Structures are given as structure tokens and as C-alpha cells.
Amino acid sequence: MPEDAAWADPVVVPDDIRELASDVEAYHRELRMARRRRRWAWLFGSSAWQRWSFPLGVVTGALALTAVVFTVLTVTGAGRTDQRGATPLAHPEAAAGLPGGLLPDQTVTMADGVVVPVRSLRPALLALIPAHCQCPDLLDDLAAQAAEVQVRLVVVGPDAPDAEVAALPGQLHHGIVVAAYDRAASLARAYDATGVTALVVGRDGVVGYVRRSITAGTRLELPLEAALLVGSAPRS
């Protein structure tokens, strides 16, 4: 065959086989792609895939969006208990220390030893407890009721800081609970506390409701809602 024939395709044989490495790699790459296409053809080429791929995509996207929204709500809502901020102190007609009046202008000692004005704890459900109360179940129920309206339960012991009251926040499982101490028992005297006494304190510092001798069946949802969402709660 003449080498100068018009239809001839001359073949060039390289002197070094390594010069064909790129061509060999391209050949194997095409083989791998072909195998992948054959491997997935049974699914993507099936009539079931053609029929259900779009609805499944829509459902998957909706579920993913729901998960994102739920996560955002969970993260932003995790710390929302006690997010009702305090407002300026009111100027009620009732005297401080009486239902319908402000909390007394005094201080309490927190569990970490910091002394704070009791009015700065507003809004809150204050539970004045007697010495050696041994009432974690009752206080846990009050904490759950306070959490329903997004306020904390402030447990006020009658004496200097002690282990019993300090341990209460860790023993209760609902809402946010903080421990405080009224060294002079001024709050207990002002509100004539008997047993566990509950004070519903609004955002403006007004004690809208007082309930003495709280028991496991005592419900405070309505006073809490009235004082913290609407305005003044019914007086005791």
C-alpha cells in the first residue's frame, strides 16, 4: 500500500510508552463513567422514577424546610422563659407590701451571695417558703405554672443562705427557678405569709395576687395571666 495514499491514516508509534499515559487515563475514565451510567440507569431510567421523582423532591424539600423552621424556633425559644421584660415601676394607690401595691423597697440575697433589690426580680412568681419547707414537688408545680406565662419562679427562703434552699433550682424540672433569701423575713411579715405563700409580681412591680398556704392543688394560671398579660390581677 502506498504511504502517500489519500485515504491512509498514518500511525505514529511513540518511542516512549509513557507518552501515552494521558490517553490511557482518559480511556479508563470513560470506562468508569460508562459503568456509573449503567449502575444508575436502572433507577433513573425506570418508569417509577419518571413518575415519582418530582413529588418525592417536593416532599423532601418540604420536610427539610420544616426541620429548619423547627430548629430555628427551638433555638430562639429555648431561652424565652422570663423574657417578659420589666417595665418602669407603677404608682398604684395601694401601699407597698399590700396586694395591688408594689413589692416592698428592700433587698434579698441571691444564692451566689449577691444582694439585689427584690423589685429588680420582676416579673416573677415569688414563693415565700418557711424554714425546712421540704416541698420540692409543690415548688416544681409552681415553676411549671410560671413557665406557662414565661416568667421565673423566685423561691425566697426566710434565713441566710443554706444548702436546702440553694439546692432547689437543681431539684425542680420546669421553667427557670432562682433561690433568694430574706434575712430579716421582711417579705414574710409584710404579706403575713403562712406556709408557702405565692406572690404574683407584674412587670411594673405590682403584686397583683397573694395566696397563702399553697397546696399541690392550688392553681395560679388565671392570676398569672391577668397580672402579666392583661393588667391587674384579682386581689386576695
Contact yes or no for 232/206 (Cβ under 8 A) = yes
Strands (E), 51-170: 107-110, 115-117, 124-128, 152-157
pLDDT at 86 (0 to 100): 82
pLDDT at 3 (0 to 100): 57
pLDDT in tens, 10-63: 656 666 666 666 776 777 777 777 777 766 666 666 666 666 666 766 667 777
Kindly state the cell numbers that stand for 145.
405554672
pLDDT at 75 (0 to 100): 45
54: left (phi over 0), alpha (psi -120 to 50) or beta: alpha
Q: Which residue ranges in the chain fall short of pLDDT 70?
A: 1-21, 24, 38-54, 56-59, 68-84, 160-164, 166-168, 170-171, 173, 229-236
